[in-house]
Amino acid sequence: MGKKYFLDEPIAAIATALVPSALGIVRVSGKDSIRILSGVFSRPEALLEAPGNTLVHGWIQKSSGEKIDETLVAVYRAPKSFTGEESAEIICHGGVNVVTGIFSLLKEAGFRQAEGGEFSFRAFANGKTDLSRAEAIREIIDSKSDEARDRAVSRLSGTLYKEIKRIKEKIIECLASLEVQIDYPEDELAAGEKFNPQSLLEAAKELKKISGTWKSQKLYQDGAKVVLCGKTNAGKSSLFNILVKEERAIVSDIHGTTRDWLENWTSVKGIPVRLFDTAGIRETEDKIEEIGVSRSKQLAEEGDLILYLADGRDFVEQTEADFINTYREKMILVWNKTDAPDCRDIPPGWIGISTKTGNGVEALCEAVFEKLTGSRGENFDSGTKASVGSLRQKEAVERAATHSERAVGFFNQCLEFDVIAQEMQEALEALGEITGETVAEDILGDLFSRFCVGK
């Protein structure tokens, strides 16, 4: 069960990371929050009289007059604030002691420490945002690539909400035609004659397209685990450095330089990738290197995708062939060192690259995208701009589509209009879970508790 929030209490939270920085921000919101804040502010009257969306300069200070820090206070008046409540943001210097000192003083003054996501919950509860937009805030914070961020921003701007609202209106129109027949069965303009099952089927089709976006959304949110494997000196560390765009891995002609794995987040064609550089796979009597080889095989087992590098100047040995055959379904074969004069011809099914010149790396990235998405990208998002941002949203959309199709099926079977109407009501309730109109309180608490404190 998720947390419960109490809307009648003034809350405060540190909104910036607790590390030394140029600025820090402490947020407050709730009934009498400006009045309580004025009690620890050097210019209380200026703060109390300040209109919304203004900045007030002054000092945060103790009742004894001891100053904590010189600040700017951003004042927001209800309902024109993020939470819809009276709110303020204290902008102070970013020293950890300064920020925590101000926060401690606010708690002494009467503010309760906010729970994770409580500011966003209040925005939702006060009608400042719907649930799909609120969830998008967390997605933006957690985004690992530009593409992931852009998709979350689309939901924050209301793309999903507007599409769900449009489809709901279509279902409501169909439902209304049946309810007329239920209430006035003697009416010659019976709803059964006006009811358009095709409209409901179109709604179900649109909903299926939206639910189909979850595959891509999950990939862009969570990212993929991509493991570089191959013999020693195949060029794994060089490719690792190219893909992460920095010199993270040591590159050397000495065999077995990489004895343990390295990892780094990067982005390949907009997809967040957790990239691993592993120890070269070979038979060795070096105990430490042997441990590294064992870890390489474990990472290969756990990875979503393996990039297997071979030195294009050498033959593929039997141990390599055995490894390739074991993981072929989730592997891209990479023929490295194509720039070398003695490089052999690129075998069928391999992608030729040169980590020295960079040739072929772009084609490799295209192959990674295709392998991870299962497509060339044309139909990766089901042909719709609106997309779901969580498994919860996907399942709600799927239920709405199922109930819509069942309603049409029952209509074609000439079942009672009450039964058909109930299916459409169920579809509307499922869509209401996405916007937050019909979602249970404990689910709301669980969703918002995943947010960071101060958001």
- pLDDT tens by residue, 184-226: 555 555 544 577 889 999 999 999 999 999 988 999 999 999 9
Q: Looking at the predicted structure, is the pLDDT value of residue 257 above 50?
A: no
Does the annotation flag 89 for ligand binding? Answer: yes
Does the annotation flag 234 for ligand binding? Answer: yes
Does the annotation flag 379 for ligand binding? Answer: no
CATH superfamily of 142-213+385-435: tRNA modification GTPase MnmE domain 2 (1.20.120.430)
pLDDT of residue 451: 74
Report the predicted TM-score, pTM, of the whole model to 2 decimal places.
0.77
Using DSSP's 3-state secondary structure scheme, residue 191 falls into: helix
Using DSSP's 3-state secondary structure scheme, residue 201 falls into: helix
Does the annotation flag 230 for ligand binding? Answer: no
Q: Which whole number is the average pLDDT over 89-105?
A: 97
Does the annotation flag 258 for ligand binding? Answer: yes
Does the annotation flag 438 for ligand binding? Answer: no
Does the annotation flag 236 for ligand binding? Answer: yes
Report for 65-69, 257-261, 312-316: range of highest mean pLDDT:
65-69
Interatomic CA distance for residues 144 and 225, integer angstroms: 13
Higher pLDDT, 66 or 260: 66
Does the annotation flag 455 for ligand binding? Answer: yes
User: What element of type H or E holds 406?
Assistant: helix 391-412
Does the annotation flag 116 for ligand binding? Answer: no
Q: Looking at the predicted structure, is the pLDDT value of residue 329 above 80?
A: yes
Query: In this prediction, what percent of the chain has a pLDDT beyond 70?
Result: 87
Q: Which whole number is the average pLDDT over 63-71?
A: 95
Does the annotation flag 16 for ligand binding? Answer: no
Using DSSP's 3-state secondary structure scheme, residue 161 falls into: helix
Half-sphere exposure of 42 (CA within 13 A, CB side): 14
At residue 279's C-alpha, the angle toward residues 278 and 281, to 5°, is: 110
**Per-residue pLDDT band at 378 (split at 50, 70, 90):** very low
Does the annotation flag 93 for ligand binding? Answer: no
CA distances from 242 to 226, 330, 354, 372 (A): 14, 22, 11, 19
407 burial type by CB count under 10 A (0-12 exposed, 13-18 middle, 19+ buried): buried
Q: Which whole number is the average pLDDT over 251-268?
A: 68
Interatomic CA distance for residues 268 and 362, integer angstroms: 10
Does the annotation flag 100 for ligand binding? Answer: no
Does the annotation flag 280 for ligand binding? Answer: yes
Does the annotation flag 27 for ligand binding? Answer: yes
Query: In this prediction, what percent of the chain has a pLDDT beyond 90?
Result: 64
Higher pLDDT, 377 or 334: 334
Question: What CATH number labels 11-130?
Answer: 3.30.1360.120
Does the annotation flag 363 for ligand binding? Answer: no
Domain range 230-371, its CATH number among 3.40.30.10, 3.50.50.60, 3.40.50.300, 3.40.50.1240: 3.40.50.300
pLDDT of residue 145: 86
Q: Looking at the predicted structure, is the pLDDT value of residue 4 above 80?
A: no
Does the annotation flag 188 for ligand binding? Answer: no
pLDDT digits (tens, 9 = 90+) for 120-176: 999 998 999 989 998 898 899 888 888 889 989 999 999 999 999 999 999 998 888
pLDDT of residue 192: 46
Does the annotation flag 225 for ligand binding? Answer: no
Interatomic CA distance for residues 229 and 281, integer angstroms: 7
Q: What is the mean pLDDT of the chain?
A: 87
Indicate the DSSP class of residue 97: H
Domain boundaries, the chain: 11-130, 142-213+385-435, 230-371
Interatomic CA distance for residues 347 and 410, integer angstroms: 58
Higher pLDDT, 7 or 75: 75
Does the annotation flag 255 for ligand binding? Answer: yes
Is the distance from CB of 334 to CB of 307 less than 8 angstroms? yes
Task: Choose the weakest-confidence range: 25-39, 125-139, 210-224, 432-446.
Answer: 432-446
Is the distance from CB of 223 to CB of 271 less than 8 angstroms? yes
Interatomic CA distance for residues 271 and 238, integer angstroms: 21
Does the annotation flag 84 for ligand binding? Answer: no
Dihedrals phi, psi of 306, to nearest 5 degrees: -115, 130
